[in-house]
Chains A and B, each alone.
Chain A
Amino acid sequence: MIYRETGQFKTSYAADQQIFPIRQDRIGILLLLAVAFLVVPAVAGNYWFNAILIPFLIFSLAALGLNILTGYAGQLSLGSAAFMAVGAYAAYNFQVRIEGMPILLSFILAGLTAAGVGILFGLPSLRIKGFYLAVATLAAQFFIVWCLTKFPYLSNNSSSGVISVPNVEILGFTFDTPQSRYLLVLSIVAVLALLAKNMVRSTTGRAWMAVRDMDVAAEVIGIRLMRTKLLAFAVSSFYCGVAGALYAFCYLGSVEPDGFSLDLSFKILFMIIVGGVGSILGSFLGAAFILLLPIFLDIALPALSDLLGLPFGSATVSHIQLMVFGALIMFFLIVEPHGLARLWQIGKEKLRLWPFPH
């Protein structure tokens, strides 16, 4: 119904191996980008930018990072928020301590710093796996947040580790409106997502997937486990680090170490479970879903309480939110372990044959 690939013949390897081999997909993605870059800034209001679009993009990036590690390389991490914290604080330090540091360079350096820390905490993955590794990543979570709170140097001697970031400025242009910050975040996320999409179908990505499916077997067929796993940790932490830097610089403006708590790590984990483990698209869908759900519940629950005549306090609403979150996670893991991304794929397959499925 939507489109078919009939009549599109590939005459060269390059054509066969491009990221989006079907013409309609290419048009679709270009349209999507055009809408995101041109239409959305023109129509969306400040609330949309500040409360929905910017956090959505930033969390998508963090989810993408975790998805690379957990979805593609199969190493469950519960410490993604800590790597975001490393990114945020590293970017801040590069900005504050080095005079005239270009902001984009400090974002990249922040990502690299996070990657370094990621490799350090990824080292145990060479010896242990599964739950043991998940618990080990909790060590990263608690240790990093503690360090950022206790070492005043890391937060430029501000009290209890709270940092207030300077304005983002590139080549004399100050990104001070929500609109401009949205565009900056969108550009960075688009580039990194494209890179990720490419990476997961390269040799590296295939090696990750082989390790995920069975690491002993992967080793037997000649994949270097140490390199592959540590690379996954590094790339994943890089993405989380950049997301953290954006989180501080383009979203909140002022962050504290405790903001990057275990809860945030779980939130990112939920994003990839709901969106789709091992899917780039899924990271975006999951981020959107987990971000919009509380907003939806905030609107829906009072309406429901009016309808039923039961007064819901704000505490009740937050309890129901927790329950809905938990129930959704279990629901998705039971019914559709591959998440929204798989639903989208199934829908596409069905529509391809519709209305004559046979």
Chain B
Amino acid sequence: MQFFLEVLIGGLLSGVMYSLVALGFVLIFKASGVFNFAQGAMVFFAALSLVGFMEKGAPLWLAFVLAFVVMTLFGIATEKFVLRKMVNQPPIALFMATIGLAFFVEGLAPLLWGNAVRPLDIGLVDEPIPWILDNWNMVISSFDLAAAGIAFALVAVLALFFQYTRVGRALRAVADDHQAALSIGIPLQHIWALVWAVAGFVALVAGMLWGSRNGVQFALTFTALKALPVLILGGFTSVPGAIVGGLIIGASEKLAEIYIPPVMAGWFGGNFGGIEGWFPYVLALLFLLVRPEGLFGEKHIDRV
């Protein structure tokens, strides 16, 4: 039971990290209807920029600000050179364009900053918390806990930003209906550039946390693949969905990784590790068959 709890909590905490990446997807999808496959590449790019600036001697906060500037410029450039030219194309074409964008960034980022695996130290240590270890005899990493705290703070800030600022209101209006927003004078293109910048910010936070845990390397782009099942489980348009989806995926994938392979080995013999790669997808898929719009997604109504 104790082991189960330990796996469960570890899974939940790593799920928060998935949520963080998924959040970037949701932001862009809500505001512009673009399913941004390049979010993983953006996480990679942001983390690499952060490390790059730190290697040049900038302190963490300055590197963070500079990396944020880079991501903002990247967002504006994407809006200007890709999205603006693809207005009125079907969403699936935009999706494929972001796959192209992902490849572009995956080439550009290491070209600018070099492709060696680099450690990133943001002052958090990945050690079990002694107090929990003593009292409950469970290994819960302080890093995971801090990361979860940062993620929740980020979500709270975003929620406040969306709810109470002028720009946030404009963002929500654009998300609801592009044309209506345009007709009451909201500058659509500024908003889109802005939302890409915000997604860049989320990518930067995600990249910082993932990077300081596993090292800044190309594998960071695969975070997008971890976030996709979270998205379809939680619904593309819902920020809470991304959080809850992340928690569910994180917990179930870790539990599955521990408990399913021995069972399968009992049936077929052999080693069945590594089901983490597909288990979230199959789980999300099964879930979709019951609720096609995800947990909190908007119900999709087709009109002829």
Contact = CB atoms under 8 A, between A and B. Distances in A.
B292 interface: yes
A135 B281 contact: yes
Contacts of B111: 316, 319-320, 323
Given A131-B35, A131-B236, A329 B97 contact: yes
A326 interface: yes
B304 A127 contact: no
A132 interface: yes
B157 to A, nearest CB: 27
Given A146-B274, A326-B107, A132 B96 contact: no
Given A128-B292, A214-B304, A330 B82 contact: yes
B220 to A, nearest CB: 15
Given A124-B285, A130-B92, A315-B115, A138 B102 contact: no
Interface in B225-247: 225, 228-229, 231-232, 236
Nearest to B108: A323
B91 A330 contact: no
A74 B102 CA distance: 22
Contacts of B103: 266, 322-323, 325-326, 329
A127 B85 CA distance: 32
B34 to A, nearest CB: 10
A124 B85 CA distance: 32
B6 interface: no
A259 to B, nearest CB: 16
B175 interface: no
Interface string B201-238: 00000000000000000000000010011011000100
Contacts of A324: 107
B124 interface: no
A150 B271 contact: yes
B92 A124 contact: no
B278 A146 contact: yes
B237 to A, nearest CB: 11
B144 to A, nearest CB: 25
Interface in A315-342: 315-316, 318-330, 333-334, 337
A127 B292 CA distance: 6
A132 B275 CA distance: 21
A138 B108 CA distance: 25
Interface string B76-87: 000000100110
Contact of A330 (B35, B101, B107, B278): B101
B119 interface: no
A29 interface: no
A145 to B, nearest CB: 8
B59 interface: no
Interface string B260-304: 000000001011101101100110110011001000000000111
A246 to B, nearest CB: 26
Contacts of A76: 92, 95-96
B288 A132 contact: yes
> Which residue, of A128, A139, A151, A319, has the highest number of chain B Cβ atoms within 10 A?
A139
Given A124-B285, A127-B292, A152-B270, A146 B277 contact: yes
Contacts of A266: 99, 103
Contacts of B277: 142, 146
A127 B100 contact: no
B232 A135 contact: yes
Nearest to B115: A315
Nearest to A74: B92
> Which residue, of B95, B103, B232, B268, has the highest number of chain A Cβ atoms within 10 A?
B103
Interface string A89-102: 00000000000000
A124 B271 CA distance: 29
A135 B99 contact: no
Interface residues of A, number: 48
Interface string A115-152: 00000000010011011101110110011001001111
Contacts of B282: 139, 143
Interface in B108-163: 108, 110-111, 115
A273 interface: yes
Contacts of A328: 100
Contacts of A318: 107
B93 interface: yes
Given A326-B104, A330-B82, A134 B95 contact: yes
Contacts of B99: 266, 269, 329
A139 B281 contact: yes
A180 B270 CA distance: 40
A146 B275 CA distance: 8
Given A131-B95, A142-B281, A320-B107, A326 B288 contact: no
A127 B228 contact: no
B285 A139 contact: yes
Q: Which 7 pairs, one residue from A and one from B, show the smallest C-beta to C-beta distance?
A: A329-B100, A326-B104, A322-B107, A326-B103, A323-B107, A139-B281, A142-B278
Interface of B: 35, 82, 85-86, 89, 91-93, 95-97, 99-108, 110-111, 115, 225, 228-229, 231-232, 236, 268, 270-272, 274-275, 277-278, 281-282, 284-285, 288-289, 292, 302-304
Interface of A: 74, 76, 124, 127-128, 130-132, 134-136, 138-139, 142-143, 146, 149-152, 214-217, 220, 262, 266, 269-270, 273, 315-316, 318-330, 333-334, 337
25 contacts: A128-B292, A131-B35, A131-B92, A134-B95, A136-B284, A138-B228, A139-B278, A143-B281, A146-B278, A149-B274, A150-B271, A216-B302, A266-B99, A315-B110, A319-B107, A321-B107, A323-B104, A325-B100, A325-B107, A326-B106, A326-B107, A327-B100, A334-B82, A334-B86, A334-B97
